[in-house]
């Protein structure tokens, strides 16, 4: 286990509108505001999402389409190879089903309300040889 303390620098509130893509929008806000570490959460609605589950060394993906409420959107922004990187998980629901997993992309259908909790100290990622994933580097 690794851990490191980090202080809250500021909170940025973001409203995404119809047609906006969630991951690329978070990356844009991160670049424009020089964010090198943040946590975020949000709610809203999408009509398209690509979600995945990491299994056997790769993401097994699924496309979900229709009227979908975001019941939970959580994640973080860190630095990977000197660029902002978004790691997000989402839970979506329609009138009959719930879908959840790693968020790869999603298109806003009505709005998404995001709160980015920006941290003072940069957090980077380093490639883990065993999994091939870029894990938090808290040294």
What pTM was estimated for this model as a whole? 0.95
Query: How do the domains of the chain map onto residue ranges?
Result: 11-137
For residue 49, what are the CA distances in angstroms to 3, 33, 65, 78, 134? Answer: 32, 26, 6, 22, 23
Q: Which residues of 55-86 are buried (b: 16+ CB within 10 A; e: fewer)?
A: eeeeeeeeebeeebbbeebebbbbbbeeebbb
Q: What is the pLDDT of residues 65-98, one digit of tens each?
A: 999 999 999 999 999 999 999 999 999 999 999 9
Domain boundaries 11-137, CATH class = alpha beta
Could you list the pLDDT tens digit for every one of the 139 residues in the chain? Answer: 999 999 999 999 999 999 999 999 999 999 999 999 999 999 999 999 999 999 988 899 999 999 999 999 999 999 999 999 999 999 999 999 999 999 999 999 999 999 999 999 999 999 999 999 999 999 8
Contact (Cβ atoms closer than 8 angstroms) between residue 128 and residue 2 = no
């Amino acid at each position: 286990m690794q851990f490191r303390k980090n202080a809250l620098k500021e909170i940025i509130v973001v409203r995404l509108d119809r047609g906006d893509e969630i991951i690329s929008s978070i990356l844009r806000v991160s670049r424009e505001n020089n964010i090198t570490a943040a946590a975020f959460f949000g709610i809203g609605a999408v009509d398209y999402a690509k979600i995945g589950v990491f299994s056997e060394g790769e993401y097994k993906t699924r496309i979900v389409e229709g009227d979908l409420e975001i019941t939970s959107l959580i994640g973080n922004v860190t630095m990977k190879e000197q660029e902002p990187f978004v790691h997000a998980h989402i839970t979506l629901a329609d009138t009959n089903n719930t879908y959840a997993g790693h968020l790869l992309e999603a298109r806003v259908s009505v709005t998404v309300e995001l709160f980015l909790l920006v941290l003072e100290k940069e957090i980077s990622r380093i490639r883990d040889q065993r999994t091939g994933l870029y894990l938090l580097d808290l040294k």
